Structure 1
């Protein structure tokens, strides 16, 4: 499992100075070198390929960090930096929050992708209830340090609707359409909207990670940060995709997917995404009750127009898109192929019986 370095305390030798780096998504690289003396930041030196005016702002930022308690939160560090920036100074390509993330990384309070040994679990067909239960099980395993951070691709056979943790079953799902099309309805642990999923019609993956990876990154920004590799994979396939705040993934042709997250008390975290591949839009609108308010917010009058499948945009088989995603993630983060253990599968099945397969859980928000 991934181990974290222990911060130095008094040695000012260059070889033992603490070093942190953070590449701002869509921005510049921020680097910090520092010492910790008697529990406080010392000898702070900020650098990077960012732009900053006037020059005097750089030593002012260093001074604002010097003497801070090493246990300060990312928000406290960012606040100190913002207070120390001279009036009228211009930060281009970075921010006070980016500096805070970099400092936290130097102190091993925050981590980067490279600090972890990543694993990838290829698609394997499982009941939808088990897929949802595994999201809770594996996020807990990461938080407890019993599993390396992991990317898992879903697969399933039964047509399903997976609703968000806080959605109303009555408001989101049409019982007539569910009965007519034999749909399995399941509630997941994360928020967000309903997912209409038939075998082979979408691509779903879950990312299980320690919350240290998003330490100091705002909730909104964490979505794009965790899916940067997906955008690179889509770019490789000839698709230019982007995030539409908060959690929609889209191209110029329309929405192609959505993301959701859940942060656990033990430090583990779930981030997952469903992307449309070859969705049956007619069946989807018979099964889901997609309100006029939601459609108006997205600037369209039709639910069918909101979802533009990857098959039409790429002309590729679903398996080819999945392979490209796995390859990009593996190359970018040095991930190793992994698998679900029998213990993890057994625990997921137990939770289906006790929680995810029960009417009480499904209808907790009627």
Structure 2
């Protein structure tokens, strides 16, 4: 019995590099032929001719690491046979393996979707956290298209990860004395200290096809490439530090977290604009360890990577983020509906504002 043949296609723009395209023919079990193309540079010519054959007969289940090993082995053979070192410019074997995996998983790109941008009105932090669950569920159910939402708030809050212990992360006296609202979010990761105006937080709600074929670690970097481009407009050279940190030559800028549900993924990021480090250490137990690790002897210093590196106001940076996203993906601005706000408030009343949820890990 002849196995059914399927054809796959995917393209990937390498950050700071070139376009890599994969056209793959495969059965239900193995790759039959692979054609790699793009505007990259590669020497010698024999190296290019070895790329596709290196992946033929690979299992369709092989992960990125396994495909990289196949490619590296083939290029080493070319180098040995030609006595010429193989040079790839504008791509790496990791990029090739990644685009092949995305092809096999029918992955989509940002530009394949119609995006909406919500710049939220000023809301209490529990409402912002509730909106993450609400909009993620809407996207998963097909009730809303892919969305970028930028938060606004004016309260003082500590947002803890879904799997963090309340007492291990927070100082009860600091929480009470500084009038801090504690909210547990639905994603994992660490605690965030958030005063109005001291952070920039955004959430992406997207179909899971956007990260199809990417490892969990790679998906973080992929979903925030547009952010690094926006920061570059303010003169900030930023990059991803696995698994979920955005950093720069001046230190860490922010951290990301994800939650996947059904056919959708929530990816949200908080970046430090100008945090009161002394206040943070009174509220978050772990903050004292992190600040000491960064070599900041005095807790009275501020954590202000975006303000000090850009000289721009918080609102200016947010405007750049919105403009960059719109320029890249033709997104349109929309507003939260009254129904959205009512449903989010219901989630606050029944979940995110309750002692049961907030203290689910004592």
Q: Same fold (TM over 0.5)?
A: yes
RMSD: 3.0
Query: For residues 286 and 179 of structure 1, what CA distance do their matches in structure 2 show?
Result: 10
Query: For residues 51 and 68 of structure 2, what CA distance do their matches in structure 1 show?
Result: 6
Query: For residues 206 and 299 of structure 2, what CA distance do their matches in structure 1 show?
Result: 33
Q: How big is the shift at 1:66? A: 4.4
Q: How big is the shift at 1:27? A: 4.0
Aligned counterpart, 1:243 = 240
Does the alignment pair 1:150 with 2:147? Answer: yes
Query: For residues 134 and 93 of structure 2, what CA distance do their matches in structure 1 show?
Result: 36
Aligned partner (choices 216, 228, 244) of residue 231 of structure 1: 228
Aligned partner (choices 44, 49, 57) of residue 34 of structure 2: 44
Q: How big is the shift at 1:99? A: 3.0
Secondary structure of 2:286's aligned partner: coil
Secondary structure of 1:348's aligned partner: helix
Does the alignment pair 1:20 with 2:18? Answer: no
Unaligned runs of 5+ residues in structure 1 are 1-8, 12-16
Aligned counterpart, 1:125 = 122
Q: How big is the shift at 1:313? A: 3.0
Aligned counterpart, 1:192 = 189
Q: How big is the shift at 1:147? A: 1.5
Secondary structure of 2:120's aligned partner: strand
Q: How big is the shift at 1:309? A: 4.3
The question of whether the paired residues in 1 share the 8 Å contact of 2:166 and 2:361 is answered with yes
Query: For residues 304 and 247 of structure 1, what CA distance do their matches in structure 2 show?
Result: 27
Q: 136-145 vs 300-309, which deviates more?
A: 300-309
TM-score (norm 2): 0.84
Aligned counterpart, 1:109 = 106
What are the Cα deviations for residues 228-286 of structure 1, in whole angstroms up to 9, with x where unaligned? 2112212212222233333232333333322222222x021111111222322222222
Does the alignment pair 1:332 with 2:361? Answer: no
Q: How big is the shift at 1:331? A: 0.5
Check 1:309–1:107 CA distance in 2 against 1; reply closer, same or farther (3 A cut): closer
Secondary structure of 2:285's aligned partner: coil
Aligned counterpart, 1:86 = 74
Q: How big is the shift at 1:210? A: 1.9
Q: 108-117 vs 302-311, which deviates more?
A: 302-311
Check 1:293–1:128 CA distance in 2 against 1; reply closer, same or farther (3 A cut): closer
Query: For residues 17 and 206 of structure 2, what CA distance do their matches in structure 1 show?
Result: 23
After superposition, residues 290-329 of structure 1 pair within 5 angstroms as 290=286, 293-295=289-291, 298=294, 307-329=303-325
Query: For residues 256 and 300 of structure 2, what CA distance do their matches in structure 1 show?
Result: 19
Aligned counterpart, 2:279 = 283
Q: How big is the shift at 1:302? A: 5.7
Q: How big is the shift at 1:223? A: 2.2
Secondary structure of 2:187's aligned partner: coil
Secondary structure of 1:190's aligned partner: coil
Query: For residues 118 and 320 of structure 2, what CA distance do their matches in structure 1 show?
Result: 14
Aligned counterpart, 2:80 = none
Q: 136-145 vs 186-195, which deviates more?
A: 136-145
Q: How big is the shift at 1:62? A: 2.0
Q: 33-42 vs 217-226, which deviates more?
A: 33-42
Q: How big is the shift at 1:294? A: 4.0
Check 1:355–1:30 CA distance in 2 against 1; reply closer, same or farther (3 A cut): same
After superposition, residues 56-95 of structure 1 pair within 5 angstroms as 56-66=46-56, 72-73=60-61, 75=63, 79=66, 82-83=69-70, 85-86=73-74, 88-89=76-77, 92=88, 93-95=90-92
Query: For residues 58 and 187 of structure 1, what CA distance do their matches in structure 2 show?
Result: 50
Q: How big is the shift at 1:112? A: 1.1
Q: 223-232 vs 18-27, which deviates more?
A: 18-27
Secondary structure of 2:159's aligned partner: strand
The question of whether the paired residues in 1 share the 8 Å contact of 2:105 and 2:213 is answered with no
Aligned counterpart, 1:138 = 135
Check 1:217–1:267 CA distance in 2 against 1; reply closer, same or farther (3 A cut): same
Q: 269-278 vs 113-122, which deviates more?
A: 269-278
Secondary structure of 2:236's aligned partner: coil
Query: For residues 102 and 302 of structure 1, what CA distance do their matches in structure 2 show?
Result: 46
Query: For residues 139 and 221 of structure 1, what CA distance do their matches in structure 2 show?
Result: 21
Aligned partner (choices 179, 182, 189) of residue 179 of structure 2: 182
The question of whether the paired residues in 2 share the 8 Å contact of 1:97 and 1:216 is answered with no
Unaligned runs of 5+ residues in structure 2 are 78-85
Q: How many residues align?
A: 349
After superposition, residues 163-178 of structure 1 pair within 5 angstroms as 163-178=160-175
